Amino acid sequence: MTALFTSESVSAGHPDKVCDAISDSIVDACLSVDSNARVAVETLVKGLGDSSVIVLAGEVSLNGETPDYEEIARATAARIGYTDHSIGMDATSSERCEVQVHITTQAANIAQGVDGDSLDDVGAGDQGMMFGYACTETEAEGELQGRFFPLPAALAQRICRRLDMIVASGEIDWIRPDGKSQVTVEYDDAGNPLRVHTVVVAVQHDDTLKERFGGDIEAEQAHIREVVKSEVVEHAIPEHWLADGYILHVNGTGRFADPGGPYADAGITGRKIVVDTYGGMARHGGGAFSGKDPTKVDRSATYYARWAAKHVVAAGLASRCEIQVAYVIGVAAPVSLRVETFGTGETSEDELTKRVADVFDFRPAAIASDLQLHRPLYSATAAGGHFGRPPTDEGHFEWERLDDARIVALQS
């Protein structure tokens, strides 16, 4: 018996991801001014017939000069590739693109619960439950080793990161910023990944591309498919997973030509929370990440739960691990902590829960300290997934870095 599981991802130029990027750029700008800044900013983008609009709304409190939110929004969208209205939005043009700013300060009744000087004084910025997950699926093949991440999500994210690289470099001049991917993986009856079964890619392209083929749309589409196959899919997915062949769908409705992006679909911060995490392989508490400073446990505690779950699996204590943590607003200690290993654990889940609680401190201030979260490092997370990516020397994705001492402590 075999089973199929599918995950999707979206590129940096997807309208929702543009919004995530703008919101996270504002977080970074505020933390650059004040490492204790309180930020909760949402973004909406929409392209219209002859103009476009970016709406910023939320709350910011910081000690220092207020960043230029409008300039941040324009620069972020432009960096992603939206510098021409014919594509979907020209964020650089004040005539073609309006930026509305509706940002106030953090409410006093929230601030009183998250401000403090000790680990017990700094409470959670909201109530809610968060999940972290890790597994051994990526450890079967060398290129992805150390990720401890669901394979369908890892591969879908790699495809979209490859699309983002192409747009940034301009190496394929007709590929536009807006894109999506979907990867279906086949599993054996023991739950081990066998191969990639199906890949789906949607990529916005230059409307004039067909002219290179004398206006022949079928020839244009055949060219797009072959380029996506060789330069995107088979570039991003390790050959190990494609050796037995796979089904490929590219731009399933036909042409995906300019204008796309915010013109084709409005974008809003926080609508891609499953894309951001585990591609549906694990549960999700429901809270989005982008636009939030680390006192918001929707973000920081989810990062920490992933960090803890990854250590459990890397320690050889389970091949699948999901951790749930829950909070009440204004209170530092979580109200619950639960470890589940889906029958793969080397010891009982009660024992693993105790070990995790002993080794990892889930109080918000401790989380921020352990992962060094009060730094401007969030723009890198806005597209391509928040998990399953290598930590960098610049301090990005610290929740993916394994700590040998904690692994030993979990094993003891």
- Catalytic hit among 292, 311, 320, 355: 292
Please identify which of the residues 24, 42, 276, 340 carries the catalytic annotation: 42
Of these residues, 34, 59, 139, 231, which one is catalytic? Answer: 59
Distance (Å, whole) CA 393 – CA 90 = 34
Could you say which of 5, 8, 12, 17 is catalytic?
17
Candidates 46, 158, 161, 271; catalytic one: 271
Please say if 235 is a catalytic residue.
Answer: no
- Give the integer Cα–Cα distance in Å for 243 and 238: 9
Q: Is 210 a catalytic residue?
A: no
Judge if the upstream peptide bond of residue 15 is cis by omega within 30 degrees of 0.
Answer: no
Choosing from 141, 265, 349, 398, the catalytic residue is 265
Query: Catalytic: 360?
Result: no
266 belongs to the catalytic site: yes
Instruction: Choose the catalytic residue: 272, 299, 311, 389.
Output: 272
8 A C-beta contact, residue 44 and residue 226: no
Q: Residues with Cβ < 8 Å from 354, sequence gap 6 or more?
A: none
Q: Is 264 a catalytic residue?
A: no
Whether 46 is catalytic: no
Q: If DSSP states are collapsed to H, E and C, what string results for 311-346?
A: HHHHCCCCCEEEEEEEECECCCCCCEEEEECCCCCC
Handedness of CA 385, 389, 393, 399 (dihedral sign): positive
121 is catalytic: no
272 is catalytic: yes
Q: Is residue 292 annotated as a catalytic residue, yes or no? A: yes
Catalytic site residue from 147, 158, 197, 296: 296
CA 17, distance to chain mean position in Å, is: 9
Active-site hit among 5, 8, 12, 14: 14
298 as an active site residue: the answer is yes
Verify whether residue 42 is a known catalytic residue: yes
310 is catalytic: no
Q: Which of 5, 8, 12, 16 is an active site residue? A: 16
Q: Please pick, among 24, 137, 298, 322, the residue that the annotation labels catalytic.
A: 298
Catalytic residue from among 57, 140, 264, 266 = 266
Judge contact between 311 and 406, C-beta under 8 A. yes
Active site residues: 14, 16-17, 42, 59, 180, 256, 265-266, 271-272, 292, 296, 298
